[in-house]
Structure 1
Amino acid sequence: MQESNWFFELLGNTFVRGLLLGLLAALIVGIRAVLHGRELKKELRKLREHLHTKLEIDSEENERRKQELLRIKQERDNLRNTVQLLNQRPGRHEIRQYYVYQKAIDIMFEKAPGFAPAWQVTVKEAEAEMERAERGLIPFIKRMVPCSPARQIEEYEKLRKKELEQHGSN
């Protein structure tokens, strides 16, 4: 009983009671801190998983956008090349020049009253020369040497000059 008496006597001391109450309060606060720490760790793990998932989704979206951007750039370059080819296509300039000449002829018909008869005579002469040229050496060259229309025009002009020189010297 003396042993238990000693224990009660120790508990009867106000300092020991205060110390025990302080330790009990510290234990309760410590347990709450540990539990709160676990909750924070769970929440942190959850947030990290969420962030990881979001980054994966963003990464996939960025990769898809990069692929789409590359595809669009390639399509743009292809279209640019196509436009350049269409603008530089042989005959394009000649067709434009034809329309310019036709417009000039229409204006001359309106402005100059004597232009129409002279023009018609000149056109008939040019058509006759073209028919002679088509039956002569030029169609033979066109059949034998396939080349671009621009090159054919150059060859035609050379042959035309030779014919004019021959007719001029006769």
Structure 2
Amino acid sequence: MDTFWDFVKSPFAWGLAIGLAIWFFTWKASIAAKRNLKKENKRLQAEMRDLEMHLNTQLKINASGNNSIQEKVDNLKEQNETLRVNLAALQNKPGRSELRALHTMETAVRLMREQAPGFASAWEVALRQAENEYDEAAGGLRKLVRKVIALPGPGESNEKDDKHSDD
């Protein structure tokens, strides 16, 4: 037993004991850190699953919204094409060119009466001006204004004009 106590009192034994104590506490700390890292890893994986599920749902919502918008755009393109074809067909109907010429002549005659009655050159100027006016009115802002205000066309009269002519 004396040899045991001699060994315990030796500097080697003290160094071995201190080294083993340091190793034990380091080992214990590493096990605790490893356990904490596993818990943190599980928590982060759960959060990642939740985020993936949320992202998946968000992508599905965006995809369905994009699909519905694309369907609406395609539908509107088809309607636009149909309306364009119908407009072209209506403008090419028989009698349309005659109606245009009649409207142009009516406007030209009205302008000739106002500007210079009896002069052929003034008639030609008025005729060209009436054609330009009709072309502007056939497609553009004037057409919209005419529809909104609902002005009478050539040959028609306002109710106000009829009432004043009776007086």
> Into which bin does the TM-score normalised by the smaller protein fall?
0.5 to 0.7
Q: Distance in 1 between matches of 2:69 and 2:86?
A: 25
What's the counterpart of residue 25 of structure 2?
Answer: 28
Q: Distance in 2 between matches of 1:92 and 1:75?
A: 26
Give the 5 Å matches for 1:1-170: 2=1, 5-89=2-86, 92-93=90-91, 100-101=100-101, 103-113=103-113
What's the RMSD between the two structures over aligned residues? 2.6
> How many residue pairs were aligned?
111
Runs of 4+ in 1 over 6 A off after TM superposition: none
Q: TM-score, normalised to structure 2's length?
A: 0.57
Ranges in structure 1 where 5+ consecutive residues have no aligned partner = 115-170
Greater fraction helix: 1
Between the aligned residues of both structures, percent identity stands at: 16
Q: TM-score, normalised to structure 1's length?
A: 0.56
Q: Which letter maps to 1:11?
A: V
Q: Which letter maps to 2:91?
A: H
With a CA cutoff of 8 Å and minimum separation of 6, indicate the structure with the bigger relative contact order.
Answer: 1
Q: CA deviation at 1:49?
A: 1.2
Q: CA deviation at 1:97?
A: 5.8
Select the structure of larger CA radius of gyration.
Answer: 1
Ranges in structure 2 where 5+ consecutive residues have no aligned partner = 118-167
